[in-house]
Chain A
Amino acid sequence: MAKLTLDDLRKLRDEKQKAIEKRDPSNKDAQIIVGMGTCGIAAGAKETFNAIIDELDAKGISHVLVRQTGCMGLCHSEPTVEVIVPNMPVVIYGNVNAEVGKQIVNDHIVNKHLIDNHICDKPAMDIVR
């Protein structure tokens, strides 16, 4: 890859912007939040995060906000990912490797199906305020 400058980046962004506008540019109504405490990092949260970004890009999904956060208290099930979609329960998934990250995009975000065997039943009680 040739070394990009900030001007290149602005140009690329303008090109992308046209494509974004062709899609529905409605507000972001869904969120995917990846836990990135010491526990998440050790378990591979970065790979999960990048896989989710790549899958959202591949599917042309633009209504999802992807964020990172600290430890959610479920260190035994890292990487953990919280998913918030309107009219669906807020879910924290555990043991989310890159593959399960893609599954979250396809099953939970696109098809509105929960991924049963990765659901953590609730946030750790000592984390909830």
Chain B
Amino acid sequence: MHASVCDIIADLVQNAIEADATRIEVDVATDPAEIRVCIQDNGKGMDARTLAKAKDPFYSEPGKHAKRRVGLGIPLLMQTTAAVNGTVDIQSTPGKGTRVAFTLDARHLDTPPFGDLPETLLGLMTFGGAYDLILTRTTPNDRYRVSRGELIEALGNLEEIDNLILARDYVRSQEENLNS
């Protein structure tokens, strides 16, 4: 399994970007008992047959790697949810997009640590191309929302190193205040 919940999120968002999504919504809710994540994109989607294959570790989208037949993103997620009393639900419609929702038992011994969400988000905001990535983060006490679009609007771009650092500080300040 991936080393952290944030690694799972990074993997699924990267799938959405590779599926040509222009809008990706990531909802992350945590409480002492459960971690709930939902990633919804408007990318190219999958038909039922392709979705079934995506759950097979020895399948990768044709054309992605011409001579390679390994794709571990979804199988790693399923392995993790199965191991820690979690659930996973994947809905996909060709031409409309994909929604991946999963839960993990926060108290299970084998649930991976949560990870560094601001660091993860910064990476996910720096793929090339125009796409919006909207994170909604919720805990029992509070919530915040941050989007790639509003960060680009406030900073001008996410290409200057200084802007990337500011964007990470911004998300970090939201996350720290959530935990305090």
Contacts and interface: CB of A to CB of B under 8 A. Distances in A.
The finding on whether chains A and B are genuine partners in a shared complex, rather than unrelated, reads: yes
Interface of A: 1-4, 6, 8-10, 12-13, 16, 19-20, 28, 34, 36-39, 41-42, 45-47, 49-50, 53-54, 56-57, 61-62, 64-71, 73, 125-127
Interface stretch (B34-42, B79-87, B93-101, B115-123): B115-123
Interface in B105-162: 116, 119-120, 122-124, 126-128, 150-151, 154-156, 159-162
Nearest to B18: A70
Given A10-B154, A70-B14, A126-B65, A16 B122 contact: no
Nearest to B71: A38
Residue with the greatest number of chain A CB neighbours at <10 A, chosen from B123, B126, B150, B167: B123
Nearest to A49: B123
B131 to A, nearest CB: 12
B48 interface: no
Contact of A61 (B7, B14, B68, B161): B161
B10 interface: yes
Contacts, number: 118
Contact of A16 (B72, B127, B166): B166
B176 A36 contact: no
B66 interface: yes
B25 interface: no
A126 B7 CA distance: 25
Contacts of A53: 122, 161, 164-165, 168
B3 interface: yes
Given A4-B170, A9-B155, A71-B65, A41 B162 contact: no
Contacts of B73: 38
Contact of B160 (A1, A62, A68, A70): A62
Nearest to B163: A13
A4 B170 CA distance: 6
A50 B155 CA distance: 19
Given A46-B7, A46-B10, A126-B65, A9 B176 contact: no
A104 to B, nearest CB: 14
A37 to B, nearest CB: 7
Nearest to B115: A46
